[in-house]
Structure 1
Amino acid sequence: MSATSRRQVLQGSLALPLWALAGEGEAADDTLALLRQGGVVLALRHALAPGTFDPPEFKLGDCRTQRNLNDEGRAQARRIGQWFRRQGLQPAAVRSSPWCRCMDTATEAFGSSGAVQAWAALGSPHGRSEQTNEASRAQLRAALRAVPAGRFELWVTHAFVQQALAGQSTGSGDGLLLRAAPGGDVQVLGRFSVG
C-alpha cells in the first residue's frame, strides 16, 4: 500500500477495507496507526476452543457445561496480550461475551477478570443459538459510535456476532478492526491476527 493510500485510510476517505495482519510490516504499521488514532473497536473472536456449538447441558454461568479454550487457545490468548503490551497499547475497555471461552480469552490476554466487562450483547441472546438479534446489534453499533478518537476498545466475541455486526467473521483468536461509518453502518478497516 502506498503512503498516500495509507493516509486515505487513516483519514477515513477510502471506502474499501484495509486488510491488515498485525505481524507483517506495513500492514502492522497500519493496524497500529488505526488503533492509536482511536475511534475504533477490535472485535476479536475468542481463542481456540475445539469443537462446534455448546453441549446440550449448556448453562451460561457454568464453564463445565460449555465448550472451552484448550491449552493452545490459552497460549493464543496470551500471545494476543503480549502483542498489545509490546506495542504499548492499552484498550480503553475490554468487553466480552459472558461465555467462558470469551471471558477466558480476555482475561488470559489482558489480566484479571476484574479488568474485563462481561456484556450480553456480545453473546447470544438465545442461549445455545448461534444467532444474535437486532436489539444486540443496535447496542453494539451504539457503543461503536461512542468510542472517542484517541481511544479504542477490544471486544471478545463469537464468529456469528462478528458476522451479524460487520458481515464478516474470522478464525479463532483473530479480529476485525471496526469503525462506525456515517449513517450508522459498521466499516471494517482491517483484519487482525497475531498467529
Structure 2
Amino acid sequence: MTRIVILTLIALLALPVVADQKSAWQALREGKAFLLLRHTTAPGTGDPEGFRLGDCSTQRNLSDRGRQEARRWGKLLVRRKVEQPRLYTSNWCRAQDTAQEMGLGAVETLSALDSFFSDPESQAAQTVELRKAIDKVPKDRPVVMVSHQVNIKALTGVAPKNGEGLIIALPLAEPPKVLARIRQP
C-alpha cells in the first residue's frame, strides 16, 4: 500500500504545474493560449513500412473509438464556448481525421505539426519550425492544433496519451507554459 502511495505521489509531482482549468479555457477563447492535441486513438505505433502521406490506406488510422473520441472533443470545445476555432493538423490522416471528426469547421494542414517519429534526428529542426508556425498563426480566433506525441513532447516535455490536449500560454515561452492538461473527453 505504501509503495502505491509513493508511486502515485511521484507521478503527480511529474505533472506540469497547472493553473485552474477555468482560466486556461478562458485564455484559449481569448487567443492568449492555444490547444495542442495529440490525435485520438489509432491502434499501434508509428506507421507501416512504406507508408505514404496522402494515402490513408498506407498509414495507421483512427479506430472507431478514436473517431468517437474526436467527436467528444468537438462537443467539449462547444460546451467550453471555443467558437469557430482555427483547426490545424499534421499531414497524417489520423491527425486530419481527428480534427475533421470534431465537426468544428475547416481543417488546414501545417507541416510543422508533422510527426518525426520515423526520423528522430529531425526533432530539433522540426521543433524550431513548430515554434515559428505557432508564432505566425493568426490569433483572432481560438487555435486548435492536432499533432503527434513526439512533437508535443519535444515542444513541451509532456508525453500526452492518445486524444489528450494541452492548453499552452501565448506568446510561447521557453519552455512553453502549460496552463492545463486536458484528458481525453
| Cα pair 2:167 2:178 within 8 Å, conserved | yes
1:45-194 alignment runs, 5 A limit: 45-90=38-83, 92-111=85-104, 115-124=106-115, 128-129=118-119, 132-146=122-136, 151-180=141-170, 184-194=174-184
| Cα pair 1:77 1:105 within 8 Å, conserved | yes
1:34-53 alignment runs, 5 A limit: 34-53=27-46
- Percent of aligned positions that are identical: 36
Please give the TM-score of this superposition, normalised by the length of structure 2. Answer: 0.79
Distance 1:129 1:191 in 2: 27
Amino acid at match of 1:116: V
Judge which range, 33-42 or 74-83, deviates more: 33-42
Q: Displacement, 1:160?
A: 0.2
Q: Displacement, 1:89?
A: 1.2
Q: Displacement, 1:60?
A: 1.0
Q: Displacement, 1:95?
A: 0.5
Q: Structure 2 regions of 5+ residues with no counterpart?
A: 1-15
Distance 1:182 1:111 in 2: 25
Q: Displacement, 1:145?
A: 3.4
Distance 2:66 2:121 in 1: 23
SS at match of 2:177: strand
Q: Deviations over 1:7-27 (max 9, x none)?
A: xxxxxxxxx7316xxxxxxx5
- RMSD value over aligned CA atoms? 2.5
Distance 1:117 1:149 in 2: 15
Distance 1:36 1:49 in 2: 28
Q: Displacement, 1:146?
A: 4.5
Q: Structure 1 regions of 5+ residues with no counterpart?
A: 1-15, 20-26
Distance 2:164 2:90 in 1: 15
Aligned to 1:6: none
Count of residues in Structure 1 that have an aligned counterpart in Structure 2: 170
Q: Displacement, 1:61?
A: 1.2
| Cα pair 2:127 2:154 within 8 Å, conserved | yes
| Cα pair 1:36 1:150 within 8 Å, conserved | no
Q: Displacement, 1:147?
A: 5.7
Amino acid at match of 1:121: A
